[in-house]
Amino acid sequence: MSKTQEYTIEQLSLLLDMVVRVEEVPTQGRKYDFAADEQTLKVLAQHSAATELTQFEGFVEIRPIRGGLEAKGKLKAALQQPCVVTLEPVEEQIDVAIERIYLRGEEPELDLTANGEVFVDLEVDADTEWFTADKIDLSDFIYEQYLLNIDPYPKKQGAELPNVKDDEDSGELSPFAALAALKQTK
């Protein structure tokens, strides 16, 4: 792919290059560092709530566990989003620990009853992912953690919604006021 081509989020693994070959992970584990270049920062910003992304880096340590792999690491990002009140830019820093368990095999199917009830196995961790191939792409995991840690309602310090008054003096009765008036006449 040429550097001028527009990337989609599905091609993120090409940009982050975080594919891990399972058989190459030693028993003591291996550390994989990542840092987004300028083009990757633009793609990540385009596919998230960020208007600008200036930092996206971290590491993931992979080590074998019984039945699969454990991935633990750190994600750091610096981004800018519009304030939900004023639309002015709000700076945000993300610095979080990330974790995921990858188990070999097929994901167990949900236990559905005839009436549509779902029985959830509470023993299975929510941060577990299943794999069958000989490699794991950590790009989706890293991108997911980035999206989950962005502030969904960024607000500039001191920004407040304007105080809006109700138009009670408009002369018109609301439907509820009309119903209350009917109830009082009975």
Looking at the 3D structure of the chain, how many domains does it have? 1
Tell whether 69 is covered by a domain: yes
Tell whether 35 is covered by a domain: yes
Tell whether 3 is covered by a domain: no
CB of 56 closer than 8 Å to CB of 41: yes
Tell whether 2 is covered by a domain: no
Dump pLDDT digits (tens) for 118-162: 655 555 555 788 888 899 999 989 999 999 999 999 999 887 877
Complete DSSP assignment for 112-171: E-TTS-EE--TTS-TTEEEE-SSEEE-HHHHHHHHHHHS-SS---TT-----PPP-TTSS
Dump pLDDT digits (tens) for 36-90: 999 999 999 989 999 999 999 999 999 999 889 999 999 999 999 999 989 999 9
Tell whether 46 is covered by a domain: yes
Structural domain containing residue 102: 9-185
